[in-house]
Structure 1
Amino acid sequence: MDLPKDMVAASATPLILAILNNADSYGYDIIAQVKGLSDGEMQWADGMLYPIMHRLEKKELITSYWGQSETGRKRKYYQITSIGQESLISLTNNWRKLNDMLQNLVGENNV
């Protein structure tokens, strides 16, 4: 199943915030987690992720800091802020409401 681009775009912010709500992370790891969570159906590229990360930072939903990887290389890590956690709760509730609406319209057995 190929997910439409508009669905991938709409889900990017809540997915990133949820990943960062579990633990601080860096770009490549976020991309890998999304790929794993979607069983390979969502394959983000750097060019898609980093503009979103910059937008989330500008909105103060996440912050970034430089840290060292296991190999000693410098790496930019991201972490969710308290504003980001509040936004994640709101976004999650909105997705649940939408899912409930769809289930009520088509039923679980018809999809």
Structure 2
Amino acid sequence: MALDKTLLAGSSATLVLKLLDGRDMYGYQIIEELACRSNNVFQMKAGTLYPLLHGLEKKGLLESYEEHADSARVRKYYRLTQKGKKFLQEKTDEWKEYSSAVSKILEGGLYCECF
């Protein structure tokens, strides 16, 4: 089943931050890791990822550095900052509360005596 792309749009920053919470990565590596960990449900294109990374860096949630991958190539790696770790924790808590509420409703939940 194909997922609505707007579902990913609202959570893509959180997903990228979570991947970088484990280790520093370069752009293509982030794309591959996201696809792999989600069983190819989340397939982000470079044209989506790089503006997202630059925005997160501008907000101080990430920082980048360059490192030689081989004799000819230099890769730009991204890592989470302390501010990024705090933001990730807040978004993770927010997501857990939200997804729990949605699950309760989708599973039928308890009926309330609201009226």
TM over 0.5: yes
| 2:40 maps to 1:40 | yes
Partner residue of 1:64? 64
Query: 1:16: how far off?
Result: 0.7
- The letter for the 2-side match of 1:55 is G
Distance 2:42 2:21 in 1: 20
Query: Which consecutive aligned stretches of 4+ in structure 1 deviate over 4 angstroms post-superposition?
Result: none
Partner residue of 1:18? 18
- The letter for the 2-side match of 1:57 is E
Instruction: Kindly report the root-mean-square deviation, in angstroms, between the aligned alpha carbons of the 2 structures.
Output: 1.2
Question: For each residue in 1:74-107, what CA deviation from the matched residue of structure 2 results, as whole angstroms up to 9, or x when unmatched?
Answer: 1000000000000000110111011110121122
Query: 1:11: how far off?
Result: 1.4
Q: Which runs of 5+ in 2 are unaligned?
A: 109-115
Q: How many residues align?
A: 107
Partner residue of 1:6? 6
Find the residue that maps to 1:65 and give its secondary structure. strand
Identity %: 36
Partner residue of 1:27? 27
Q: Which has the larger radius of gyration?
A: 2
Distance 1:27 1:100 in 2: 31
Matches of residues 89-100 of structure 1 in structure 2 within 5 Å? 89-100=89-100
If the length of structure 1 is used for normalisation, what is the TM-score?
Answer: 0.91
If the length of structure 2 is used for normalisation, what is the TM-score?
Answer: 0.88
* More divergent stretch after superposition (24-33 vs 40-49): 40-49
